[in-house]
Structures are given as C-alpha cells and as structure tokens.
C-alpha cells in the first residue's frame, strides 16, 4: 500500500471525474478552484471538449498520462463504478467527495466497504467518501467543491489542518483567511474509509512547512494510536484539537453527521488530551485563535500574567478573568518586582497605576506604552503580557505601532487586544501584522494566553520526562 501522503497533498497531476462546464455545478466549482494549480488537471466528462481551459477526457482510462490523484464528484450511486476504474488504473490516491455512504446508514456503508476493499487490493488509497478533500495554499491543490468566491481561502503558511467535517474545514479556512493565519495543508477526512487522521498526522510530523497542527474530530479511528502519535509529535509541534460529540447530545448529532461512533465522556477526552500533550479547543473560533497564538508566540514558561493598557475598567475585568477563571490551568496576576514598580513610578510621573494591571489612563501616549511595556517585559516575575493598545485617548496615535517589533524581539509571549468596536479592530489588525496575536475581546485574548501557558506546561513536562531517561 502506498503511504506517501506527499503525493496526495502535492500531486503532479489530478483527474476530476464529474467535472462540469456548467457554472453553479459543483463539478464546475472544483475545476475553477484548480485553475491556478501547478498540477496538470484532467477533467473527465464524456460530453465536453474542454472545461475551464483544460482538455477534457471521456474516461479515466483514456488519459494515458501518469495521474497521482483522482477526485470523484458524482452522485453516490455512480461512485462505485468510477472508483473501480480508478483502482484499475493504479492511481495512487482517490478522493471521494460524494456523500451518501456510511453516514446515511447500512446500505451506504455496504457500498463504502465495497469501494474500500476493491481499491485496497489494487493499491489505491482513498480519502473520504463524504469529504471536501484537500485544500493546500502551499501546493496550490484545492479539491473543495465550494467556490473560492463563496469561501475565501487563507494564504500559504505553517498551520496544518485535519478535519473530520467538511463544514468545519470550510469554517477553519475562512477564519484563518480573515485572521491572516497562513495554512500549509487542510485535509478533510470525511468517513475515513481508508486514509485517517493518523496518516495525515504522520505526514505533518516530518513536514517542515507545518509548524502547528489544528484538528477537528468527532471520533478517534484508533484512540490508542492517536494518543501515542500525538504525544510524540507534541514534543516538536503544538497540536490543538476539538473533540466534538463529547456530550450525549453531541454524540447523537455526530453519529448522524459523519457516522462517527463517538464514545467517551468529556472528562475522558480532557484527561487523554492532557496526557498526550494536546491543547483542547471547543469550537472553530477557539481552534484558529489558539493556532494563531502558538504560531506567532513562544510558549509561556509560567502562569504569571501582566496587563498593560489605558482602559482601567478593562484592566479590572482582565484581572478577574486571570484569577477567576475556573478553566484549568489557572493563571495568576504577576507581582511586579519592587524595581519594576519603582522604575514605572518614575517613568509615569505618579499618574498611573504602577501595580499590575498597569493602567496608563487617558493620558497614555505611544512613548508611555513603549516605556511601560519594556519595563514589564523585563521583569523576571512576568511570564506573559496581555497588551491592550487603546486608541481613544487624545494623545495616542499610530506611532505606538512603531515600537511593536522591539517588544516582540524581547522574546516573551505577548497577547494583544484593544478596547472598543471598529476602532479596536483596526488596532488589532495592526498589532497582528507586526507580530502580536491579537483578539477583539478580553475572553478570546485570555483563552489564547492560556493556550500559550498550556504549551509551556507541555514542554516542561516533556523536558522532565526526558531528563528521567527512557522509561522501561
């Protein structure tokens, strides 16, 4: 069996069975999404000469060129026949987008199994069925049947995505695009008749382009293997995962969604993830939020958090979040050293609070931000900084952003936010583009900070374990 997932994600040639010239058809959407692909594209459709500028073939066996990946976008009932042809041609990978298999019941499961057996015997590996397949800003491959105009794709970058759900895959890619988080590969697993999260994880493990891994799963194909693999990978790269269907209600929903048998209570997932060094997220927003923080910032070496901002009340609520959250692991407000407090006092002319949270008040200026942030980051009692750059005070202007690079290079994790509505969104976008992962609400900001601390704890535990030497 071919295990070279590289070929699936970087095909040199790709055939689309069910390609269509008609705008609005999914067989046309996939062709349009592949227009700029560096791979050769072979549309298969007996009734057309060309589709979207590509020469059309009547059938997969008429291509007579090496084909790395075939995609079937036909209705379920036509899939078995075409899948057999693909396997007969010994094409290494087959992506089946069609739905209507094991997720719909017994008869669908039977066809799915038949396809799996037939392809396996002939060395063709199957992704899906019921999957959007692969979208890789890095390799330029995009087999998703949702047009780019309807669903913006992210730029290339270092986040690898694995999703058991097509709609979550779409949402993660759109959120990554909106937050300018770059993606290496996004792989939809669908019903996992063959290729599973384990295959993709193993590829990501050694892929230099993938630095952080984000996953959406409704069930584990092989929980033990997953946890073992995750534990190994998390030494090198952060893994963030949603395990959906972790309640009774969610589990019922998952079963009619991907046919997943989602067992295991919420607490079980929690414990297993902690053991395996996986950072848990609960929805698509959290997943991309955490990924962004982990891609842009080093892990926090401890849980002592400082806050600098000019909006006093926001600082008070931040303090409540830091010490009041019931979510593990607990953070705490850093106790600034006497030296830092003294230095801040001299610097701020006694105007402002020199305790943590540091409140620059409505008198804040870019220079006051710069001096305060540097003093706070320089304090060894601070593990992470929550930075709220608030643009409303009269003496604030865009010069504040000129300092950001010098703050980031200090090397301690910073998570950003800004007070307000539209005005805040602009500041957040600026901070973000200069290297600080930034969020438009206190709660998202705090959860991202917590993810950075969780990652720090995971790395610490790995270090401890390895200093004990290999276990018997």
Taking the C-alpha atoms of residue 167 and residue 29, their distance in angstroms, rounded to an integer, is: 16
C-beta closer to a second copy: residue 215 or 297: 215
Q: How far is the CB of 36 from a second copy (least distance, A)?
A: 20
317 is a site residue for a second copy (CB under 8 A): yes
Q: Is residue 272 near a second copy by the rule CB under 8 A?
A: no
Using CB under 8 A as the binding criterion, the count of chain residues that bind a second copy stands at: 86
The answer to whether the beta carbons of residues 375 and 356 sit under 8 Å apart is no
Which positions from 391 through 410 interact with a second copy, judged by CB under 8 A? 391-394
Of the candidate residues 164, 210, 372, 454, the single one contacting a second copy (CB under 8 A): 164
DSSP H or E run through 13: strand 13-17
Nearest partner of 163 among 87, 119, 218, judged by Cα: 218
Q: Minimum Å distance from CB 259 to a second copy?
A: 11
Tell me whether residue 160 or residue 315 sits nearer to a second copy (CB atom): 315
Angle between helices 166-178 and 284-296 (to 10 degrees): 50
Among 139, 163, 184, 303, binds a second copy (CB under 8 A): 163
Window 194-233: residues binding a second copy (CB under 8 A): 216, 218
CA gap 445, 404 in Å, rounded: 18
Q: Which is nearer to a second copy, 77 or 266 (CB)?
A: 266
Are 447 and 286 contacting, i.e. CB atoms less than 8 angstroms apart?
Answer: yes
Candidate residues 39, 221, 227, 362; the one interacting with a second copy per rule CB under 8 A: 362
CB of 209 to a second copy, least distance (A): 22
Among 30, 95, 168, 201, binds a second copy (CB under 8 A): 168
Six-digit token pair at 328? Answer: 């593990």
29 touches a second copy by CB under 8 A: yes
Question: Binding string, 127-156, against a second copy, x = CB under 8 A?
Answer: ------------------xxx--xxx----
Contact string (CB under 8 A) for a second copy, positions 321-360, x = contact: xxxx-x-----xx-------------------x-x-x-x-
Candidates 203, 176, 175; CA nearest to 187 is 203
Q: According to the binding rule CB under 8 A, does residue 51 interact with a second copy?
A: no
Residues 67-86 that bind a second copy (CB under 8 A): none
In the window 422-461, what residues touch a second copy (CB under 8 A)? 422-424, 440-443
- 96 or 459: CB nearest a second copy: 96
**At what angle are helices 366-377 and 338-348 packed, to 10 degrees?**
170
Q: Is residue 248 at the binding interface for a second copy, with CB under 8 A as the rule? A: yes
Nearest residue to 185 (alpha-carbon basis) of 451, 6, 416: 6
- Residues in Cβ contact with 280 at an 8 Å cutoff, skipping those fewer than 6 apart: 240, 241, 242, 243, 269, 270, 273
Tokens of 269: 């997932």
**Among 45, 131, 143, 165, contact with a second copy (rule: CB under 8 A):** 165
Question: CB 298 → a second copy: shortest distance, Å?
Answer: 24
**Shortest gap between Cβ of 425 and a second copy (angstroms)?**
8
Task: Candidates 2, 65, 113, 256: give the one binding a second copy (CB under 8 A).
Answer: 256
Nearest to a second copy of 26, 462 (CB atom): 26
Q: For a second copy, which stretch binds (CB under 8 A), given 80-88, 292-300, 313-321, 427-435? A: 313-321
Gap between the Cα atoms of 435 and 185, Å rounded: 22
Secondary structure element (H or E) that encloses residue 16, with its range: strand 13-17
Q: 135-147: buried (b, 16+ CB within 10 Å) or exposed (e) per residue?
A: bbbbbebbbbbbe
Quick one: 404 or 442, whose CB is closer to a second copy? 442
- DSSP of 288-312, one letter per residue? HHHHHHHHHSPPPSSSEEEEEES-H
E strand or H helix that includes residue 181 = none
Residue (of 66, 76, 58) closest to 17 by Cα position: 58
Stretch that binds a second copy, among 43-51, 227-235, 309-317, 452-460 (CB under 8 A): 309-317
Closer residue to a second copy in complex, CB, 29/229 = 29
Nearest Cα neighbor of 145 from 163, 164, 166, 162 is 166
How many whole angstroms separate alpha carbon 243 and alpha carbon 248? 13
Binding segment for a second copy (CB under 8 A), chosen from 75-83, 133-141, 311-319, 405-413, is 311-319
Residue 65: how many other CB atoms lie within 10 Å:
10
Is residue 115 near a second copy by the rule CB under 8 A? Answer: no
DSSP letter at 57? Answer: B
Q: Which of 119, 131, 258, 372 binds a second copy (CB under 8 A)?
A: 258
């Amino acid at each position: 069996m071919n295990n070279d997932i590289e070929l699936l994600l970087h095909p040199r040639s790709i055939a689309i069975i069910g390609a269509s010239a008609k705008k609005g058809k999914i067989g046309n959407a996939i062709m349009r999404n592949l227009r700029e692909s560096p791979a050769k594209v072979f549309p298969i459709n007996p009734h057309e000469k060309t589709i979207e500028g590509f020469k059309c073939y009547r059938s997969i066996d008429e291509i007579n060129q090496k084909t790395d990946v075939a995609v079937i976008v036909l209705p379920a009932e036509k899939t078995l026949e075409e899948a057999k042809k693909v396997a007969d041609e010994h094409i290494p990978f087959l992506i089946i987008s069609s739905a209507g298999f094991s997720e719909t019941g017994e008869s669908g499961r039977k066809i799915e199994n038949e396809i799996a057996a037939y392809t396996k015997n002939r060395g063709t590996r199957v992704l899906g069925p019921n999957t959007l397949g692969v979208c890789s800003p890095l390799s330029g491959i995009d087999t998703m049947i949702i047009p780019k105009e309807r669903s913006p794709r992210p730029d290339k970058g270092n986040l690898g995505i694995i999703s058991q759900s097509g709609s979550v895959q779409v949402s993660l890619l759109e959120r990554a695009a909106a937050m300018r988080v770059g993606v290496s590969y996004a792989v939809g697993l669908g019903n996992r008749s063959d290729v599973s999260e384990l295959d993709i994880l193993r590829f990501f493990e050694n892929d230099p382009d993938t630095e952080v891994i984000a996953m959406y799963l409704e069930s584990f194909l092989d929980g033990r293997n997953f946890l073992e693999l995750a534990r190994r990978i998390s030494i090198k790269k952060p893994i963030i995962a949603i395990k959906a269907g972790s309640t009774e209600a969610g589990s019922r929903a998952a079963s009619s969604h991907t046919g997943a048998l989602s067992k295991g209570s919420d607490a079980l997932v929690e414990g297993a993830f902690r053991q395996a060094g996986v950072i848990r997220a609960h929805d698509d927003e959290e997943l991309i939020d955490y990924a962004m923080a982990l891609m842009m910032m080093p892990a926090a070496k401890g849980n002592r958090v400082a806050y600098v901002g000019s909006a006093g009340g926001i600082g008070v609520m931040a303090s409540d979040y830091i010490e009041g959250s019931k979510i593990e692991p607990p953070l705490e407000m850093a106790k600034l050293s006497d030296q830092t407090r003294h230095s801040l006092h001299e610097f701020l002319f006694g105007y402002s609070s020199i305790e943590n949270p540091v409140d620059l008040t409505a008198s804040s200026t870019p220079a006051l931000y710069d001096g305060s942030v540097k003093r706070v980051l320089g304090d060894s009692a601070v593990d992470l900084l929550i930075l709220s750059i608030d643009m409303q005070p009269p003496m604030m202007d865009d010069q504040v952003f000129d300092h950001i690079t010098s703050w980031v290079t200090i090397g301690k994790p910073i998570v950003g936010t800004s007070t307000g509505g539209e005005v805040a969104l602009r500041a957040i976008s600026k901070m973000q583009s200069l290297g600080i992962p930034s969020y438009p609400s206190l709660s998202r900001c705090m959860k991202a900070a917590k993810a950075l601390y969780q990652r720090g704890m995971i790395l610490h535990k790995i270090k401890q374990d390895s200093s004990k030497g290999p276990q018997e």
